[in-house]
Amino acid sequence: MVSTPPAATHNSGRQYVPDVPESVLDQASPNQFLMPLTAQVNGKDHLEIGGCDVVTLVQQFGSPLYVLDEATLRAACRQYRQAFQRHYPGESLVIYASKAWNCLAVCAIAASEGLGLDVVSGGELHTALTAGVDPSVIYLHGNNKSVDELQMAIATGITIVVDNWLELETLVELAKATSAADESPQAPVRIMLRLTPGIECHTHDYIRTGHLDSKFGFDPDQIESVFAFVQQHSTVLHCVGLHAHIGSQIFELQPHQDLAGVLVQWLVKAADYGLTLEELDIGGGLGIRYTESDDPPSIDQWTQVICKAVVDACGDRQIPLPKLIAEPGRSLIGSACVTAYTLGSQKTVPGIRTYVTVDGGMSDNPRPITYQSLYRTVVANRMSAPMTEAVTVAGKHCESGDVLIKDATLPPTHPGDILVVMGTGAYNYSMASNYNRLPRPASVLVGEGDASLILRRETYADLLAHDCLPHRLTRPPSEGSGS
């Protein structure tokens, strides 16, 4: 297993591209690389991904443009699935946390690689079902699911990860109403219970979900009451297991070991209430390499630690191994995508900084302004040019904080150059907006020299598609001009 990526080359004066031999493409852990595994420099000195020249892609599809490498995404899916098969002696299931990027093509790829899907809304669920994902491997999360979303989940037969008392009580009412309205007996609603394990990890406050001060899950002092309630309503609720998630972009392994022990402890306690729980979902959270200094564990390392911790905890308590579920998101797709921009204006503030501006920004990547996230970038049309300038890459939005990268090291740049930002597969398109009425970018799936459009670029007409102009606000153009 290749667990250590090749050294980045920013400090050597050349721009970074991975050097992954084709023979180890499926073994190289994608989350440890700044770029997709197929990235290389072609004979034109252009960045190439999936056999496609990124400069040519921009000419064909425009910019900003999300470029998703199919080989890297599939490699990550396979590594997770195979690692659990290798390290866990019981049954396992990897489900893609699709909030990272939920669209028809991505859902279809994950399903074709044998993964289930984690969804957090009716919209994500509808997308997954339309992409052909089997409902039996779809899990619905969320701390404030609507009645419509719960009804949709019940009707499709997916598993609902219950987050709070209101949801639990609402499900009982909906399940009873469904049974009463149908002449044939209804199977109990399949649920899991989300617990707050009280485990801290070093990540951004906004993406820490396992500590006690969290909006997600049942707290430890509620769990036994929840078990009793579920057993009381076992004719309409079928509780199959427990779930917890401790956060995102995590490089530490110890918190995941601790999580296994906590969950198995509550698995044992559930038996005291007559509940036989057969599934254990330990969440996801493995980080990716956004900058040269990031050093995340490999997919195999993370999986091995998780599996051993669950096996040891079950062995200590002498209980059968549960079906082990993991739900990676960022580490599956984050490194598989880059965003290509076209450079525009520049501004030098003497003695302070030089700004170079791209044709997108916070509307296609809100993570820097939201989480102070760091990224790396290259000039795709001059990959061998020496990097001699320190610049700040700014977006085009009417917002002073619309800065993608501070103090980026680049070659001298010119308007029209193609700037590529790495590691934009997770929480970029999925969090994109129409701020300043910018249409959302297109996305292409690349592989073996072929590029397929998977998300079309929005148009100005799309921006107005849901606008409604009350009749009283319409008047002849002449009346709108002052005199």
Please count the CA atoms within 13 angstroms of the CA of 317 that sit on its side-chain side: 20
Integer-rounded Cα Rg, in Å, for the chain is: 24
Residue 330's contacts (CB-CB under 8 Å, 6 or more residues apart) are: 31, 97, 100, 248, 249, 284, 286, 287, 288, 425, 426, 427
Q: How far are the Cα atoms of 122, 149, 171, 187, 320 from residue 152, in angstroms, in the given order?
A: 7, 5, 12, 15, 33
Burial of 227 (0-12, 13-18, 19+ CB in 10 A): buried
DSSP per-residue string spanning 199-251: ---SS-GGG--SSSS-SSSB-GGGHHHHHHHHHHTTTTEEEEEEE----SSB-
Residue 71: in which H helix or E strand, if any? helix 70-87
Centre a 10 Å sphere on the Cβ of residue 385 and count the other Cβ atoms it contains: 18
Which of 103, 107, 398, 468 is the catalytic position? 398
Let me know if 468 is a catalytic residue.
Answer: no
> What's the order of all strands across the beta sheet hosting 47-49?
40-41, 47-49, 52-53
- Cα angle 71, 75, 77 (rounded to 5 degrees) comes to 120
End-to-end CA distance of the chain, in Å? 76
Active site residue ranges: 398
